[in-house]
Amino acid sequence: MKYFLKADTKEELLNDLRNAGFEWYDYSETGERTPRDPKKREVATLRGIGSCIYLEHLVEVPAVYDGEELVTPAVLTTTFHANCLMRQEHTFSTDMGIPSTPQYDWA
């Protein structure tokens, strides 16, 4: 099942993802893990449960170029986004339903 998540704050979105079991870690040379926030477009996978990609802000209005020169920079959303692919139905409090033009979809 595909889920497209959207939240007004990063904390709200990450709490929803962590409640589903998704976590991101840094690893030390000794193998010790330290939890951290995800980087843009970073994927987390739970074996047998699902996968999630953290998208952060999405492009609302694409940048405009004249050749290689940037005329107008892209405009990003102020909201935070992630997409999940789950093996079984899950309730996400930040589920926005299926967008008409998803910026990332599972193959």
Strand (E) or helix (H) holding 12: helix 10-19
Buried b (16+ CB within 10 A) or exposed e, 53-80: bbbbebeeeeeeeeeeeeeeeeeeeebb
How many angstroms separate the CA atoms of 45 and 85, rounded?
Answer: 9
What is the value of pTM for the model shown?
0.85
How buried is 12 (Cβ within 10 angstroms: 0-12 exposed, 13-18 middle, 19+ buried)? middle
The string of pLDDT tens digits covering residues 17-31 is: 999 999 999 999 998
Mean pLDDT of the chain: 92
pLDDT grade for 107, boundaries at 50, 70 and 90? low
The string of pLDDT tens digits covering residues 31-67 is 899 999 999 999 999 999 999 999 999 999 999 999 9
C-alpha span between 51 and 86 (Å, rounded): 6
